[in-house]
Amino acid sequence: MFSKLVNVPSGAMIPDRDIDKSPILECINLGITFGGLKAVENFNLTIGRTEIAGLIGPNGAGKTTVFNLLTKVYQPTKGTILLDGTDTHGMNTIQVNRAGIARTFQNIRLFSNLSVEDNVKAGMDNAMKYNMWEGIFRLPRYHKEEKIAHDRALELLSIFDMQDLASAKSGSLPYGAQRRLEIVRALATNPSLLLLDEPAAGMNPSETAELMENIRKIRDTFQIAVLLIEHDMKLVMNICEGICVLNFGHVIAKGSPEEIQANPAVIEAYLGKKKEA
Amino acid sequence: MKKKFRAAGKTARSNFLTFGIVVAAYIIIMALQSGGMISSAMSGLMVPICAYIVMAVSLNLTVGIMGNLSLGHAGFMSVGAFVGVITAMSLQASIPSGPLRLALSMAVGGLCAGIVSLIVVIPVLRLQGDYLAIVTLAFGEIIKNIVNCLYVGLDKNGLHFTMKNAMALNLDAATGKKIMQGPMGAVGITKLSSLTAGFILIILSLIVVLNLINSRAGRAIMSLRDNRIAAESIGISPARYKIMAFVTSAVLAGMAGTLYAMNFSSILAKKFDFNTSILVLVFVVLGGMGNIRGSIIAAAVLTVLPEMLRQFADYRMLIYAIVLILVMLITNNPRTKQLLAKIRSPKSGKEETEHVL
Ligand SMILES: Nc1ncnc2c1ncn2[C@@H]1O[C@H](COP(=O)(O)OP(=O)(O)O)[C@@H](O)[C@H]1O
Ligand SMILES: [Mg+2]
């Protein structure tokens, strides 16, 4: 029912960039217009099966909008999204998740009245099979699946060493822990592509460093692709194998961290501005 | 390890306490009743209290757990009440056993309320807040008005329905019996409800509601309530779970309606109007959103209270209103809330403040 959480030691052999072997995600000429505003236009991106990719750009560039397009919070006005080779045209948010995309949110969206454990278990709902009656009358399948879910929730929480917080109310967690819980909840859905929207926002440098390590560990352990939006350049350059730079809804550069750092257009649009400030 | 067992044990203990309170109350009341220590007026209130408890528990599922304001819960009670009465009367000849007939009538009443709720659930899936409140309010009024002009009779040829008048029923003169007479409501009901029947229905609704809340369905429903976009992003379908919760709530309300109606010899559609919906909502709000035990206590206390205040005659409802306002003020005061939390579990109270820091 659930995929097994195998503990691959961090830093295990990961193929460099496996874009050329059938990619997990392919965006072709993706675009959306809000009223007259072209928030994202001609967006093309390919992500390998176990790649950590970064999506960067100044505020308002359209990064979150790309996530909303991928997860069908907005239906694209133009273009195609291929997830594992399948066109997601006509799918809604729920179906896209079932197809393998899970995400976190820039503005934290936890189930704040539920416990930490229940937030994670909610992510396993699709993997569960017992029906309403089995739940009401506490039939064997209820006990069996809830036990598995409980064990797996603690196991997933242990990635961030949060297993001791399992019974705490999620809304009462500190900010950083809430961000980490969002990642765990997304992982609970067994995604093949994990979208992280500014996962390090509001974290201090040591928390950020730890997060970086854990994102890598997640990729190594689950062998999934990660696409992350991040303002912390150090984090992005450090862990991303491929980076895509957005500005005013357009891709202005794509490449390895080294290529991006040397790209004049990027320096002007993004890094340059940073230096001035 | 220890911690996780404590966490799992917490809800189990809380639910156990809820059942315990209900069972203890039932035993005490039965004992007092057999000792003749309960006034007849109070005795007459027992079945309505049970019905209101089930109403409050089921409405809490919609309002507290699902987070959808409903002002038409009495509409489902009404459907259950009149369908239940018609069923009971139709079965009078074929099923002599009172309790069995009541149980069957409740099942049919609840089933019909559930079917009707499938129509109301459409706006529930699409609307939120004030808009949904207005739609459910309208639903309650529609049910009341339909029942108000419904004539139902029974004779050797079976059931007869009409919306015109009693004559249009065309009942057989010898065997005909009028069950519902438009504005005069249902008449000639054989009283079948009892405290024990009410107690069983409460236990049944508690099993259903508490276990539903503490299963994947409850988790999904509450996650949709807390953050719909996030819930959809992890693959939780709003339609499926909202229908599940709303229909369950309606079925229980329908069964409560049958229980209530079968406690009287006649019953009017007016009994299940907007005021009743609001009354039940007051129980839920006062007992605490999502707090099932609170709903039970609030429903019982607030149904008994007007009876206890009878000696104050004209000031009765005034005092009732003042008590309501005071309780609301006290229970919603942050300080008293903290205090109550401490009293409930001194340890977990401390834990929680630690997490905030
Ligand atoms: N639902 C919406 N309606 C109108 N405009 C929107 C909507 N969502 C985003 N936008 C606009 O699209 C642009 C990109 O926003 P966003 O993707 O949030 O940027 P960021 O790169 O900072 O995440 C902004 O100009 C924003 O105002
Ligand atoms: Mg953003």
Tell me, yes or no, whether A5 lies in a domain.
yes
Q: What is the pLDDT of residues B175-189, one digit of tens each?
A: 778 888 878 888 888
Inside any domain, residue A20: yes
Domain stops at, among A169, A188, A207? A188
pLDDT at A3: 40
Residue in chain A lying closest to B10 (CA): A167
| Residue located nearest, by CA, to atom 24 of ligand 1 | A60
> Rounded mean pLDDT of A11-29?
63
* Chain A interface mutation, best of B2, B214, B219, highest count of A Cβ atoms under 10 Å: B219
Asked whether residue A105 is assigned to any structural domain, the reply reads no
**In this complex, do A167 and B227 lie within 8 Å of one another by their Cβ atoms?**
no
Best interface-test mutation with A: which of B15, B213, B216 has the largest number of A CBs within 10 A?
A: B216
Same domain, A140 and A261: no
Judgement on whether residues A19 and A84 belong to the same structural domain of the protein: yes
Contacts of B211 in chain A (CB under 8 A): 135-138
Question: Regarding predicted confidence, which is higher, A182 or B347?
Answer: A182
Reported as a pLDDT band with limits 50, 70 and 90, residue B22 is: very high
Residue of B6, B19, B66, B234 to mutate when probing chain A, most A C-beta within 10 A: B234
Domain end position, chosen among A132, A157, A188: A188
Indicate the average pLDDT of chain A.
Answer: 87
Looking at the predicted structure, is the pLDDT value of residue A276 above 50?
no
CB of A64 within 6 A of ligand 1: the answer is: yes
The residues, any chain, with a CB within 8 Å of residue A222's CB and separated by 6 or more, are A3, A5, A187
Q: CA-to-CA distance for B220 and B209, rounded, in angstroms?
A: 14
Nearest CB neighbour to B229, from listed A109, A119, A138: A109
Higher-pLDDT residue of A266, B51 = B51
Residues A224 and A253 in one domain: yes
Report the pLDDT averaged over residues A213-219.
93
Does residue A254 belong to any structural domain of this protein? yes
Tell me, yes or no, whether A241 lies in a domain.
Answer: yes
**3-state SS of chain A?**
CCCCCCCCCCCCCCCCCCCCCCCCEEEEEEEEEECCEEEEEEEEEEECCCCEEEEECCCCCCHHHHHHHHCCCCCCCEEEEEECCEECCCCCHHHHHHHCEEECCCCCCCCCCCEHHHHHHHCCHHHCCCCHHHHHCCCHHHHHHHHHHHHHHHHHHHHHCCHHHCCCEHHHCCHHHHHHHHHHHHHCCCCCEEEEECCCCCCCHHHHHHHHHHHHHHHHHHCCEEEEECCCHHHHHHHCCEEEEEECCEEEEEECHHHHHHCHHHHHHHHHHHHHC
For residue A24, give both structure tokens. Answer: 């997990």
Q: Please tell me the pTM assigned to this model.
A: 0.87
Q: What interface predicted TM-score (ipTM) does this complex get?
A: 0.88
What pLDDT shows up at residue A15? 39
Pair (A205, A171) in one structural domain: no
Q: How confident is the model at residue B355 (pLDDT cuts 50, 70, 90)?
A: very low
> Does residue A173 belong to any structural domain of this protein?
yes
Q: Confirm or reject: Cβ of A60 under 6 Å from ligand 1.
A: yes
**Same domain, yes or no: A7 and A90:** yes
Q: Whose CA is nearest to atom 3 of ligand 1?
A: A34
Give pLDDT, residue B296. 95
Residue A184 in contact with residue A176, Cβ under 8 Å? no
Does residue A174 sit in the same domain as residue A274?
no
pLDDT band of A271, cuts 50, 70, 90:
low
pLDDT of residue A144: 94
Q: How far is the centre of ligand 1, averaged over its atoms, from the C-alpha of B297 (Å)?
A: 49
A71 and A10, same domain (yes or no): yes
Show the beta-strand stretches assigned E in chain B. Answer: 151-155, 158-162, 177-181
Is the pLDDT at B67 greater than 50? The verdict is: yes
Whether A206 and A261 map to the same domain: the answer is yes
Q: Of the candidates A164, A160, A186, A187, which has an alpha carbon nearest to the alpha carbon of residue A115?
A: A164
Burial (CB count <10 Å: 0-12, 13-18, 19+), residue B357: exposed
- The share of chain A scoring above pLDDT 70, in percent, equals 90
Together in a domain, A2 and A90: yes
Confidence band (pLDDT; 50, 70, 90) for B260? very high
Range of the domain at A56: 1-100+191-277
Which ligand 1 atom is at minimum distance from the Cα of A197? 23
Q: Choose the final residue of a domain: A188, A219, A251.
A: A188
| Section B211-225 average pLDDT | 95
Domain for residue A58, yes or no?
yes
Average pLDDT of the residues in B162-174: 74
Q: What pLDDT, on a 0 to 100 scale, did the predictor assign at position B188?
A: 80
**Are B211 and A130 within 8 A, CB to CB?**
no
**pLDDT value at position B8?**
56
CA angle B162, B166, B171 (to 5 degrees): 85
Interface subset of A 95-124, CB within 8 angstroms of B: 97-98, 102-103, 105, 109-115, 117-119, 121-123
pLDDT category of residue B354 using cuts at 50, 70 and 90: very low
User: Is ligand 1 within 6 A of the CB of residue A247?
Assistant: no
- Ligand 1: centre distance to CA A172 (Å): 29
Tens-place pLDDT, residues B196-210: 999 999 999 999 999
- In the structure, what pLDDT confidence band is assigned to residue B356 with cuts at 50, 70 and 90? very low
On whether both A50 and A158 belong to a single domain, the answer is no
Residue A273 confidence (pLDDT): 53
Number of domains, chain A: 2
- The whole-chain average pLDDT of chain B stands at 85
Q: Do residues A133 and A269 both lie within one domain?
A: no
Q: What is the pLDDT of residue B344?
A: 63
> What spacing in Å lies between the alpha carbon of B126 and ligand 2's midpoint?
28
A120 with A57, same domain: the answer is: no
| Inside any domain, residue A178 | yes
Residues A114-138 pLDDT 10s: 999 999 999 999 999 999 999 999 9
